[in-house]
Every structure is written in C-alpha cells, then in structure tokens.
A = this chain, B = another copy of it.
Amino acid sequence: MTDENTQTPDRRAIGVFDSGVGGLTVLHECLVNLPHEDFIYLGDTGNFPYGPKSLAEVRRLAFAAAARLASEDVKLIVVACNSAAAAALPQLQSSFATPIVGVVMPGARAAVQATRERRVGLLATEATVRSNAYQNALHTLDAGLEVFAIAAPRLAPLIQGGDVFSEEIEGAAREAVAPLKAAGVDTVILGCTHYPLISPMLRRLLGPHVSLINSAEETAREVAEILARKEIDNDREREGRYRFLTTGDAEEFRDVGARFLQLPIREVEQT
C-alpha cells in the first residue's frame, strides 16, 4: 500500500466564489483537473458587478461570500474574482481559518516562469489594472520584470453578452492586443475570468510565440497542489459532484453560466 492509499480522504467540498459567472471558467478548470473533488460555487450575481463598487463595499461582499461558503464546511475557498481578490484577499486570509486562494498570484507566478525576455503583458478590466494587484504580484516575484498592463473595458461586457465569435469582439480584441504587440511582450496574462472564452482569438492575434497565461488554469493547478501538500484531497476513485448557489436569479444563472462552465449546470439554489 502506498501513502496515498492509507491517507484518509477529506470528503469536504471546495468553495469557489465570484461576483457573477466569470469565475465559472475557474471552476471549469477545477472540475476538469480534479474530477474526484466536490465543489460549491457561489455566484454573487445579486451584487454583480463588483468592479464599479468602492473598495470597502467589495471587501464587505467578499467577506459575506466567504462566510457563506465557510458555513458549508468547505476545506478550501477560491476567490475566483479579480476585483474581490484585489480588494480583500489578505484580509480574508487573516480572518478565516480555511485556506483561501485568489486568482492573481497563480497567474502572476506562471507568467514569471514563462517569460523569456522578462516582458509581460496583462490584459484585464479597468478596475483590475487600476488595483495594481497583478503588477504588484509580478514585481514581488521578479523585481526586474517589465509589465505592460492594458485595460480592455469592452471585452468582458461583449463576452458576457454572448456573441463571442463576432467581428465586433475580434475588433475589440485586436485593439486591446495592439499595444502589447508593439511592446514586444513574450507572455500575456488573461487577467479577467471572462477572457478564456476568447483565448483562441487572442492566441491567433498574439501569434504562437507569445505564451498566453490562463489564470483560471493556473488557479486550478494551485488548488491541486494545496490539496496534495495539505493532504486534504478526496478519494481519487470517486466522481465528484458540483452545485451552485446564487444571490440573484437561478434561471438566469443557469442560462448564462453553461457557456462559461462548458459542462452541464444542474442544481442552482438561491441564497
């Protein structure tokens, strides 16, 4: 018998929250890479979007969301929302006993590992760019890095709107990518949970020699590592379940959410 088999499986679920459906791209990566774990996703769609709210207000909402998940006895919480992570991650980590992971540091770490010329681009919403969360994380990991942060205010609303293969989105993506190409970056962070839905378009626009860092994918990898190191993973032979809580309309969550999750959405519970 190996160590892995003798370890008692931790059957508690993993909690994931976001202000809306964007964080479902993070849940998607978790579900694909950790199919044996259970997940509870809380979409705070009743308070969507966090972006334009004050820092204090976002922090208050993030605390309420984390508390709601903690009340479900989760073993780990993922803040799958760039605004919430930027506004409240250290405070959440100080206040809760449950381990808490954000989306910013995993993406930043992967970018620092990937860049060859130490020229990294960031594509994100205006709020995320203004928060300097990625820029600070990148410089904490490599103080010599050059960071080119581009706010792409049109992209997330267009993606949320649904027509992700339209020429309008292609135009907006082309515009957002142009200054990054001009800056000669070799690595670009997708700093918004909506962007994985247009990653083929961005890859094509940036070219095959630019590494595209998907923060959702990197966050799932981080979650897997934490489970393994803390020895709190579930039994690998089982098939995990996943369910959804929303502070907004359950039907609307289901309709918009499937495109982001790319897997069936069954139970959605209003909370």
A binding-site residues for B, Cβ under 8 Å: 28, 31-36, 164-167, 169-170, 200-201, 203-205, 207-208, 258-259, 261-266
Contact = CB atoms under 8 A, between A and B. Distances in A.
A28 B169 CA distance: 17
Contacts of A207: 35-36
Given A35-B204, A205-B35, A208-B33, A263 B165 contact: yes
B204 A165 contact: no
Contact of A170 (B166, B259, B264): B264
Given A207-B35, A208-B33, A200 B266 contact: no
Contacts of A170: 263-264
Given A165-B258, A258-B165, A263 B33 contact: no
A242 to B, nearest CB: 10
A262 B165 contact: yes
A204 B39 CA distance: 14
6 contacts: A35-B205, A165-B259, A165-B261, A165-B262, A167-B264, A167-B266
B266 A204 contact: no
A200 B27 CA distance: 12
Contacts of A264: 165-167, 169-170
A261 B165 CA distance: 9
Number of copies of this kind of chain in the complex: 2
B263 A32 contact: no
Given A35-B204, A201-B263, 5 more contacts: A28-B200, A164-B262, A165-B261, A167-B264, A169-B264
Contacts of A32: 200, 203-204, 208
Contacts of A201: 262-263
A36 B204 CA distance: 9
Nearest to A170: B264
Contact of A262 (B167, B200, B261, B263): B200
Contacts of A259: 165
Contacts of A169: 264
- The list of the 5 closest CB pairs from A to B, nearest first, reads A165-B258, A35-B204, A200-B262, A32-B203, A167-B264
Contacts of A166: 264
Most buried by B among A28, A165, A265: A165
B263 A204 contact: yes
Of residues A35, A205, A261, A264, which shows the largest number of chain B Cβ atoms within 10 Å of its Cβ? A264
Contacts of A204: 31-32, 35, 263
A70 B35 CA distance: 46
A261 B164 CA distance: 11
